[in-house]
Amino acid sequence: MRSERVEEYLEAISRRQKTEMPVSTSSLAADLGVSLPAVTDMIRRLEADGLIEYEPNKGVSLTSEGSRAALSTIRRHRLWERFLTDILGLRWDKVHDEACRLEHATSPETEKRLASLLGDADTCPHGQPIPDKNGNVKDQNVRPLSEFETGQKVLISAVVKEDGRLLRKIAKWGLKPKSIVKIEKKNDDGSLELKMDGQILRLDKSTADYLMAIPLFAGKEAVDEEIPVSRLLNGESGIFKTYTGERAMLGRLISLGFTPASSVRMIENFRSGPILVKLHDVEVALDREMAAKIIVTRNNLGC
């Protein structure tokens, strides 16, 4: 196992590489909170180990081995975060620092058990993807929220800055990953007005920079597609719109959780027989004929 320091460096370089390539030694010093000479020392060591390439006066970049090592650390970090929130019940704004310590002391065996305990979770509590055990990261079509324009509807996918205060603020707004927001207005200073569940939220530019989002519809002209719930494929989801069948059944549907704007996810839809959907965290079985009369707006998500 590599030393904790080495792992810290590789992780920091990997994070920085998303925005800066190669990564300057001064950014590294700032991210890790160490002095510049200390960074230079360490860089020499990492270079000697074949983990990074260093171009004097420009900066460093990870070699393929270095990047594998970095992803492996990130994987452990995010798995631990999931563990801390899901199993131990820590709040999501408190898990980053803990995970930073735990990630370095994790054997491959523990990592494997951890992953299976978590049901092979694929994101950290903040929504960032967990690299799989071979170091592959799912490619996501994400952009910072600040890059979207007025009128666009997006799905918040992740918070990329794991700062306690920021996370608490986001949680309070209810803007956690998987929430769907519409950009009502984008101001000149980059601040945003968002609409979520009928409420208006105001975000400054810097916060919007740290929130990653996925566009919900390809372009502005894309129309919300209204289809019977029976046409959703396994894994697809939609928003409950209305019911077109007998009025007498409406009450029962409502009591099973079909309230306006509830999100419905298809769990099982084979060619015939009843379908199984999940809404409000409960699995509901529906007759196919019945399902043909339940209209939802399909979420045009990639997955």
Partner 1 sequence: MKPDEKALVVALAGAPNVGKSTVFNLLTGLSQHVGNWPGKTVEQKTGIVRHNGLTIQLVDLPGTYSLTANSLEEQIARDYLVTEKPDLVVALLNAASLDRHLYLVTELMELTPRLIIALNMVDVALQEGIKIDVKALESALNMPVVPMVASKNQGLKELVEVIAQKCGKPVDSQAVGHVEFGSQISGDIAHIESLLTDEDTNPYPRHWAAMKMLEGDSQINKLLKNRLSEDRWAELDLFLNDKESAALTLAGLRFDWVKNVLSSTQEKPPIGRVSFTEKLDRAATHPIWGLVTLAVVMSLIFLVVYGIGIPTQHSLQVSLIERAQALVLDHMHFMPDWLQSFFGNGLLGGVGMVLTFVPILFLFFMVWGFLEDVGYTARVAFVTDRFMHFLGLHGKSSLPLLLGFGCNVPAVMGTRIIESKRARLLTVLLAPLIPCAGRMAVIGVIAAAIFGGQAIIVALGVIAISLVVLVVLGLLMNRFVFGSKRSALMMELPLYHEPNPRTIGLISWQRTTAFIKRTGTVILVVSIIIWILSYFPGGSIEESVLGRIGIWLEPFSKLMGLSWQPMVALLTSFVAKENTIATLGVLLGGGNAGLSQALRGILTPAAAIAFLVAQVLFVPCVATLSAIRQETGGWRWVAFSLSLQLVLSFSLAIAVFQIARLLGV
Q: What residues make contact with partner 1 under the rule CB under 8 A?
A: 85-86, 89, 91-92, 118-119, 121-123, 125-127, 171, 174, 176-178, 197-198, 242-243, 247-257, 259-262, 265, 267-268, 270, 272-274, 276, 278, 280-287, 289-290
Please, which residue, 173 or 217, has the CB nearer to partner 1?
173
Q: Measured from the CB of residue 96, what is the shortest distance to partner 1 in angstroms?
A: 14
Residue 297 token pair: 């707006």
- Euclidean distance between CA atoms 203 and 200, whole angstroms: 10
Please, which residue, 222 or 261, has the CB nearer to partner 1?
261
Amino acid residing at 109: E
Q: Measured from the CB of residue 246, what is the shortest distance to partner 1 in angstroms?
A: 10
- Euclidean distance between CA atoms 220 and 29, whole angstroms: 43
- Euclidean distance between CA atoms 235 and 229, whole angstroms: 12
- Euclidean distance between CA atoms 281 and 194, whole angstroms: 26
Amino acid residing at 285: A
Please, which residue, 18 or 247, has the CB nearer to partner 1?
247
Please, which residue, 67 or 123, has the CB nearer to partner 1?
123
Cβ proximity of 62 and 10 under 8 Å = yes
Q: Measured from the CB of residue 166, what is the shortest distance to partner 1 in angstroms?
A: 14
Q: Measured from the CB of residue 79, what is the shortest distance to partner 1 in angstroms?
A: 12
Q: Measured from the CB of residue 14, what is the shortest distance to partner 1 in angstroms?
A: 22
Beta strand 294-298 with 180-186: parallel, antiparallel or unpaired? unpaired
